[in-house]
A = this chain, B = another copy of it.
Amino acid sequence: MEFYGAVEAGGTKIVAAVGRAGEEPRALERIPTTDPGETLDRIIGFFRARASEGLPIRALGVGCFGPVDLDPASPRWGFITSTPKLKWQGTDVAGTLGRALGVPVGFDTDVNAAALAEYRLGAAIGRDPAVYLTVGTGIGGGAVVDGRILHGASHPEMGHMLMARREDDGFPGFCPFHGSCWEGLASGPAIEARWGRRGEDLPPDHPAWDLEAWYLAQGVLNLLMALSPRAVILGGGISQVPGLIDRVRSTAASLCAAYLDRPQTPEEWSDMIRAPGLKIPGLDGAFLLAEEAAGVSVS
């Protein structure tokens, strides 16, 4: 049996694993996202150590925080581009890992990989178009349309849509590019900057969560208006706060004001806005990208 390598590279930590999509990984390691040289060295070291233990990989898939260059014709394909994490700007992630490990590399954003995995293996099976969102250190989103990851001039940057501020919210937003975009108003760091405490230290009845649900609902609603998906998966640490997804559903229904034919009823809203079906969707997505890079059909 052949195995693949998968890397889910997030803004604060990286998960590297050997295995196959949709199966329990044979080996897995969590690596903090520090500076690029050190972090990539640790990833390479992990795969080399597993190979020496009898777990070589046929190909590697990387789902990476962005923005990244996904244009196959670009000399900077596989690079991180204008990220606010300045040390990572211009890092050749795909090339560095592929050359060091001597395997083909499939590369996409972490959220695009997660969207593909939730569509193929998770909570969005049969739901086309499907949108996957992660709400944590930042807000990111990817989509699957007609069974394929949505790419275009670059890749979606759903967390950087500009947003209406709720009237009682005086927080200016913290995005260094856009101030009060979705990520600037509703990511984990926005919650901490607005309330002076980390989200995990705020009780469930704190008004922070009503406001958070309002911003998440607004963004989800705008994606329904832009893309007409059949499922929106709310992933990432913040989304899993108990009760939050239910509040997002009811607030989105309220903001929508019954304008859309579907969803209309509370059941349809629950069906549309869903929790992830996979434990680490970005990792399963990276395995799928590895299989594609190896030329293995995964449709």
A residues near B, CB below 8 A? 67, 69, 81-82, 128-129, 141, 143, 145-146, 148, 150-165, 177-178, 180, 218, 221-230, 255-263, 272
Contact = CB atoms under 8 A, between A and B. Distances in A.
B151 A228 contact: yes
Give the most central of A154, A165, A225, A263: most B CB within 10 Å. Answer: A225
A156 B161 CA distance: 16
Contact of A178 (B69, B152, B229, B257): B257
Give the most central of A129, A161, A255: most B CB within 10 Å. Answer: A161
Given A157-B259, A164-B162, A152 B228 contact: yes
Given A157-B225, A226-B227, A257-B177, A148 B150 contact: no
A90 to B, nearest CB: 12
A259 B260 CA distance: 32
Nearest to A222: B161
A222 B182 CA distance: 10
B226 A222 contact: yes
